[in-house]
A and B are shown apart, each in its own frame.
Chain A
Amino acid sequence: MHRFTRVALLIATLIGGWFAQPERAMATPEEFAAGLALIAKDSFNDTSAGIDLIARSGSPHAAAIIEALSDRRLLVDAANQKIFYRDATGATRDALTNEIVATPPADVSTVRLNNRVRTAASAAIGALSLMNPDPARRIQAAQAVMKSRDAEALPVLETAIAAEKDPLVRTQLQLAWAAVTFVKKDSTEAKRLEAIALLDASGSRDALSILRTLPADTAGPARAAANTAIKSIEDRLALWGYLQNVWYGVSLGSVLLLAAIGLAITFGVMGVINMAHGEMVMLGAYTTFVVQDLIRTKAPWMFEFSLAIAIPLAFLVAGGVGVLIERGVIRYLYGRPLETLLATWGVSEQSRGRHASVHVRRHGTRRPRHHLEPTLYRHLCRRHLHWPFARAPLHATRPAHARGDAEPPHGILDGHSHRPRRCADIRPRLGHCRTSRRGAVSDR
């Protein structure tokens, strides 16, 4: 309840603030022209200053120009110190007059960007698009302002919060407000406490890094509140960190498990210790990459379905190669496990040095999340999986026909993996093994 009153109070003050400053957003064409002149110099220092001027000028196409700049669509004619930009339709416009230029000058170059200019541009776009009709754009704008913590954006931000209906966007806007208010030197104690409460509630790493900017010599309730908030956010983040690590473990482990199961099945069904199993996994991963690459270049609109196409294809490719290896090499070697082991090892060696790390995207439009790295799988499979999982076939059941074809791989391994396998293999003939294996062997 307490919080609701607080928010209501906040909104009330904000609306008050809005009416109190009607003179804002007066267009000043001089500022706009001066900003463009600065950008025309094409030095990073001047470009950032120019962005500020243009953003402040209140010109109706300020946002369009700054966006063009950050998308590298802003062109400078260095000889005449004039700025042009390409709009969404690809037409070239004069930045000053916003009119389409029929014949753009031949000698134009793109205005150069660096991280500083990029940061300034995104802050300016943020401040300019806080009132954008698209909620997604408003969220982006709020996040940009939160990053820039630009005090000049505060009045617009307050107006935007007052006008905002979407609760999600409003939270973001309030967070941006909190960031700016917290960092602003002349904020009142009460406002700063308000900001700390909002930042604390968000619990994000960004909020944490804002709270940490409080100068060490700050005293009073703000310091204490900030410290409590930092502690509380740190605790929450630490908990998330643990959960995240567990998730990473499960996600990596499941990949290894899949590879191990494949290895176990091959051994269980065929009696072949496939040293080239990692290469099979790699083939599947490469198939996905090739399919995605083809789709990306040939039919980008299908990208959302690329995985659905790639998965069955990966089965076919890896399976096909498996058949080839079986027909070409392994079938001559049934019953001689050491030879099959050597032969598959040879196959795996042959594909060495011909791999490259590539990227596979999970979705076309979203951020890439999934990184399939064939090298990793290949090496992990070879180095870590083969031996420990050599026991796995104990739990896999072998079809009768395979038993007939392949002689049990006696005596090929020494030590601990030797005995259980041998026991498993001769199990159908020697019933006592079952009892001696304490139930490790599945009953058929």
Chain B
Amino acid sequence: MLKRRNVLAGIAAAALTGGALLSGGSVAFLSGTMAISETTLKDVMLMLIEEQNKKGGVLGKKLEAVVVDPASNWPLFAEKARELITQHKVAATFGCWTSVSRKSVLPVFKELNNILFYPVQYEGEESERNVFYTGAAPNQQAIPAVDYLMSKDGGEVKRWVLAGTDYVYPRTTNKILEAYLLAKGVAKEDIMINYTPFGHSDWQTIVSDIVKFGSGGKKTAVVSTINGDANVPFYKELANKGVKATDIPVIAFSVGEEELAGLDTKDLVGHLAAWNYFQSVKDPANAEFIAKWKAFTKNPKRVTNDPMEAHVVGFAMWVKAVEKAKSFDPDKVIEALPGTEAPNLTGGISKMLPNHHITKPVLIGEIRADGQFDVVWQTKGLVPGDAWTDFLDGSKDLEADWVGKKCGNFNSKTGKCGSS
């Protein structure tokens, strides 16, 4: 698995017409230092833009992709975002991976009034006018995952390890999950919380602790918000200790097909992941997308994953909104986006909600020996993303509504806009 370098892929559409566009210049400088995971999101944007241009572009204009590489350097994200908007005059930006990077670019997008499509599952507790969250909110990933493990099919888990990387997404998600578990009647001593730094590699003691915690006579599961690099040695150590998925299942929120491509999955069979899309989902739209993706990357082994699907949906919504607004002007597009619908790759139609989140199905997958996932559970319909969780004090009274109330944190108790 590779260190996640985060990519902001922007679209410059305004003021440029005709086919003689050079998109190569700014893309090329990335090719050397980019790691595979990071290129995935960039590549899928390039593919979508190329496809759109073949169809004649948007509003008769060809789209141009501008790619910048902030190299996992959080302050640099803000700088690069500014560069995209002021120098390249992009109409919208698709990207960011970690929540830290999103928080870093946020003030820039607000100040310069532009649009960001954020495709990765995140901790919620945020809704901004300039950001559209096409990844999962906690109620579209974390909560259903825990529900599944509590169910009979999931093994009726009674004891929980919440293990995460030490930054805002795992901390907030685990805070929400802890509150949720306590509300479900799980005792405090049956919850173990552990944080490790980015790229942590010495898992022996922690996995020993998990095994020890798991021998309490109750069914135990690990909810993992471990992100990036650290997953490789973590799963490796679980296999070393002989922890099978039937003993202590691990459900991960940041491990997808792309991450497993770097792992020997033989020992991981049965461990779980909760996402809104899996490559193995049987659906004509998905089959077509996978085929296109493999052809575009010229690599029959390239896998697809959940954040890619979020980009597909988000990009389709953006195109529709631009066509509806008949303008690339961010203000008009932001107005037009809520209510826009676009087919997702799992057979449903996702819709952009007034809170700038989208409706998504929730799927639980078990890792197969070939590095793909078997969908073992899924929600009946699509779940609307909830920006403010209902399980934390101070957050449950808030709602986001950019259509009627024009507010990202409307307090239904005080009837005012603002979280306090």
One of A210, A353, A358 near B35 (C-beta < 8 A):
A353
Determine how close the nearest CB of chain B comes to the CB of A366; give it in whole angstroms. Answer: 11
Interface string of A216-254 (1 = CB under 8 A from B): 000000000000000000000100010011001000100
Residues of chain A contacted by B262 (CB below 8 angstroms): 356-358
Interface flag for B240 (CB, 8 Å): yes
Which residue of the partner chain, among A113, A119, A369, A375, contacts B199 with CB atoms under 8 Å?
A375
Minimum CB distance partner of A240 in chain B: B208
A213 — nearest CB in chain B belongs to which residue? B217
Tell me the complex Cα distance, A359–B231, Å.
Answer: 12
**B 112-155 to A, binary, CB cutoff 8 A, 1 in contact else 0:** 00000000000000000000000000000000000000001111
Contact A112 B374 (CB under 8 A): yes
Q: How far is the CA of A116 from the CA of B270 in the complex (A)?
A: 10
Asked if A44 is at the interface of the complex by the 8 Å CB criterion, the answer is yes
Query: Contacting B366 at CB < 8 Å: which of A45, A115, A359?
Result: A115
Residues on B with C-beta less than 8 A from A122 are: 246
CA distance A161 to B215 in the complex (A): 26
| In contact, B199 and A359 (Cβ under 8 angstroms) | no
A209 touches B216 (CB 8 A): yes
Assess the B237–A371 pair: CB atoms within 8 A. yes
Q: Given contacts A213-B217, A356-B1, are A367 and B153 in contact (CB under 8 A)?
A: no
Given A118-B246, A212-B216, A367-B242 in contact, is the A113-B3 Cβ separation under 8 Å? no
Contact A357 B2 (CB under 8 A): yes
User: Is the CB of A152 closer than 8 A to any CB of chain B?
Assistant: no
A244-B208, A375-B229 known; A209+B215 contact, CB < 8 A: yes
Give the dominant DSSP class at B's interface: loop
Q: In the docked arrangement, what's the CA distance between A286 and B155, Å?
A: 39
| Residue B351 interfacial (CB < 8 Å) | no
Q: Which residues of B contact A367 (CB under 8 A)?
A: 239-240, 242, 267
**Cβ-based interface call for B212 (8 A):** yes
Q: Does A87 contact B (CB under 8 A)?
A: no
- Taken residue by residue from 348 to 359, chain A's Cβ proximity to chain B (1 for < 8 Å, 0 otherwise) reads as 000011101111
Whether B3 contacts A375 by the Cβ 8 Å rule is yes
Neighbouring B residues of A379 by C-beta, 8 Å: 199
Please tell me if B33 contacts chain A, counting CB pairs below 8 Å.
Answer: yes
Contact of B204 among A116, A237, A248 (CB under 8 A): A248
**Provided the pairs A209-B214, A356-B262 are in contact, do residues A375 and B242 lie with their beta carbons within 8 angstroms?**
no
Nearest 8 A-B pairs (CB), nearest first? A212-B217, A209-B215, A213-B217, A114-B376, A376-B201, A357-B232, A353-B33, A371-B236
Binding site for B on A (CB under 8 A): 44-45, 112-116, 118-119, 122, 147, 205-206, 208-214, 237, 241, 244-245, 248, 252, 352-354, 356-359, 361, 367-369, 371, 373, 375-376, 379
Interface residues of B (CB under 8 A from A): 1-3, 5, 33-36, 71, 152-155, 199, 201-202, 204-205, 208, 211-212, 214-218, 229, 232-233, 236-237, 239-240, 242, 245-247, 249, 262-264, 267, 270, 272, 366, 374, 376
Q: List 5 A-B contacts (CB under 8 A).
A: A115-B246, A116-B154, A208-B215, A241-B212, A358-B262
